[in-house]
Amino acid sequence: MRAVIVSSLLLFASLVQAQNKPAWQPPITPRQLAEVLKTALQPDAQKALHDKVVKWFGLNNLAQGRAGAKIEATTVAWAVIDPKPARVVQLDGSFIGEMVSLGEDGLQVLAAEMPNFSEFGYRIESEGMPRLAGTVHVEHYDYTTDSMPRKDVPQGRLEKFEWRTSKVFPETVRDVTVYLPTGFKPGEETCLMVWQDGSRHVDPAGSMRASVVFDNLIHKKEMPRTVGVFIDPGRKLHQKPGDKAANRGFEYDSLGNAYVRFLLEEILPEVEKRYQTKFRPQPEAWGIAGGSSGGICAFTAAWERPDKFRKVLSWVGSFVDLKGGHVYPSLIRLTERKPIRIYLLDGENDLDNKFGNWPIANKQMAAALKYMNYDFRIDWTQCFHGSKGMAPNLPDALRWLWRDVK
């Protein structure tokens, strides 16, 4: 009886605490901050905004001058704590704006619209003395409805498992997420599409939203029923989930057949066993995708085994001298044409460093593919290095890749 009474009292206390606890509120965004700052704030509204900004940027970051800029679309927001008026300027001296005070503790903020596809260094200064510096790049695209969840479109199923017994890449562990199209039945024969850096690309709330795009295009019959196998690069055994995968560069950038053997001998048989999938035997029904190092990895897999993979999706591909990938344009010109279809995407703002120039490398790939009369397409954008430029183009890219497979 005593245990029951104590349990009841604890439950009552937790309910009272929950009732007294303030309701969770979403953080403010740069665009919202810009709108609020256009109006004259009453004391209560200013105090509420002050508290939201402190929570948003972090009190310790603000106090120590480590609060980096926040970006939403083309709106950039800055915050600092300083007793004297502050302003934000670009590193070349260009003036961005005076900061607005939000309280007696010295909290000041600024939200400003900046040109799309711009990258610049900035500093926050007070009486000519720098308080904080950093770099931002502004890159914004609008999604089409094909990248948006729709109530009238049924969603596929996402399953996940961990793989830690690789013989091709020993002493590694990785997550694998499998997309099964809506209504999937064990033993159903489907197309296959493998993705590198899989977890973040399959996430319905992520940037790429590949699972959402699959749902919409399969529903509209603009791509065939496809099982997606989204594979993360290998972490070393001592690494924790979420750590930067230490084996990624070795797996993705290396030339040769190691990675495609890893797929054919280990991961795909495991997917078939776990979920009773059955991939169509024709190589035209097999695709592979990736960005950056994952992009050259996708091309290498098809280049090595065109009898298995015939469709390649690569964006901001690292066809530079990380591990010898810069040789591909020459190899393409000197090797008998292989029956693979290649989609490339890159942009003027991609990387240029000691390993090479990514825009030039992708243009050289396109020129070599054109010279050898490959079935290829390159979409040229203003994108930086990353997946933002690919994400809104994904539906159209998949339609193009799968256009002749029903």
- 198: Cα within 13 Å, side-chain hemisphere: 24
DSSP 3: H
Alpha-carbon distance of 237 to 174, in angstroms, equals 10
Using pLDDT thresholds of 50, 70 and 90, give the confidence band for residue 57. Answer: very high
Find all residues with CB under 8 Å of 98, minimum gap 6, and list them: 85, 86, 87, 110
pLDDT for residue 11 is more than 60: no
**For strand 226-231 and strand 189-196, is the pairing parallel, antiparallel, or unpaired?**
parallel
Using pLDDT thresholds of 50, 70 and 90, give the confidence band for residue 241. Answer: confident
Alpha-carbon distance of 66 to 179, in angstroms, equals 40
78, two tokens? 């800055």
**Mean pLDDT computed over 43-72:** 94
Secondary structure (DSSP) of 41-84: PPHHHHHHHHHHHHHHH-HHHHHTT----EEETTEEEEEEE-SS
Q: pLDDT value at position 27?
A: 74
Using pLDDT thresholds of 50, 70 and 90, give the confidence band for residue 106. Answer: very high
Please state which of the ranges 7-11, 145-149, 169-173, 402-406 shows the lowest mean pLDDT. Answer: 7-11
16, two tokens? 């009272």
Q: pLDDT value at position 2?
A: 40
**Mean pLDDT computed over 242-255:** 96
Q: What is the pLDDT of residues 156-183, one digit of tens each?
A: 999 999 999 999 999 999 999 999 999 9
Using pLDDT thresholds of 50, 70 and 90, give the confidence band for residue 26. Answer: low
8 A C-beta contact, residue 189 and residue 280: yes
Domain 145-401, what fold? Rossmann fold (3.40.50)
Q: Which pTM does this prediction carry? A: 0.90
**Mean pLDDT computed over 243-248:** 96
**Mean pLDDT computed over 266-280:** 98
Domain ranges of the chain: 30-138, 145-401
Q: How many CB atoms lie within 10 A of CB 335?
A: 12
Q: What is the pLDDT of residues 63-105, one digit of tens each?
A: 898 999 999 999 999 999 999 999 999 999 999 999 999 989 9
Alpha-carbon distance of 249 to 169, in angstroms, equals 12
Whole-number Cα distances in Å, 139 to 349, 361, 390: 10, 22, 12
Q: pLDDT value at position 81?
A: 96
Q: Name the residue among 209, 229, 195, 230 with its Cα closest to residue 149.
A: 209
8 A C-beta contact, residue 261 and residue 171: no
DSSP 327: G
Domain 30-138: which CATH class?
A: mainly beta
